Amino acid sequence: MTVHLFVQFYFDEVALGLVNRGLPEEVVRPRVEAALKTCGLYPFRNWPVSALSYGQKKRVTIASILVLEPKIILLDEPTAGQDLYHYTQIMDFLAELNRRGTTVVLITHDMHLMLEYTPRAVVFHDGRVICDTSAAQVLNSPEIVATAHLKETSLYHLANLCGIDRREEFTRRFIAADREVRR
């Protein structure tokens, strides 16, 4: 009986936004199941929430938003507290959502995440946009890094120590090679 309550809670967690909108069960159930499939949670649909990993629980939260069919998802530090395996899993999942047409906006202090996963970086300082360009360009600009109080990356330091003039190109190629090795 306890497991049934957890399973129902899991479904209810994802369905809550649709239920609050007054949508009927015949609309809610297929949308919840589709969101669970999109988030890679469908095989675990009968598991109690307490049995899910930290990353899977984050996906339940994302599924509860996706079921509403948003055009944009805003995430604050989506990889916080995760090891490299789960970090990579959640970011690959978000990249897939983006490929399917959902705009994913990340707020992060993780410069490696920014370099590896974001084609566009918007940097704010004192409530104003100070830069809107590639992550590699942002993190290879001493002026932007200093103004926005960002942390200089080890790749920036390595390029400088090696006398590499084209630091952005070096950074992009290093990140691409690193991603390939890990796969």
Taking only the tens place, the pLDDT of each residue in 151-182 is 889 999 999 999 999 999 999 999 999 888 87
Helix, strand, or coil (residue 133):
strand
Consecutive H or E run containing 20: helix 2-20
The answer to whether residues 13 and 60 touch, using CB atoms and an 8 Å cutoff, is yes
Residue type, 42: Y
Tell me the pLDDT tens digit for each residue of 81-96.
778 887 888 888 888 8
Tens-digit pLDDT profile for residues 6-65: 445 677 888 999 999 999 999 999 999 988 888 888 888 877 778 888 878 888 888 899
CA-closest candidate to residue 156, choices 110, 121, 106, 112: 112
Would you list the DSSP string of 62-83? HHHHHTT--SEEEEESTTTT--
Tokens representing residue 57 in the block = 């629980």
Q: What pTM did the predictor assign?
A: 0.74
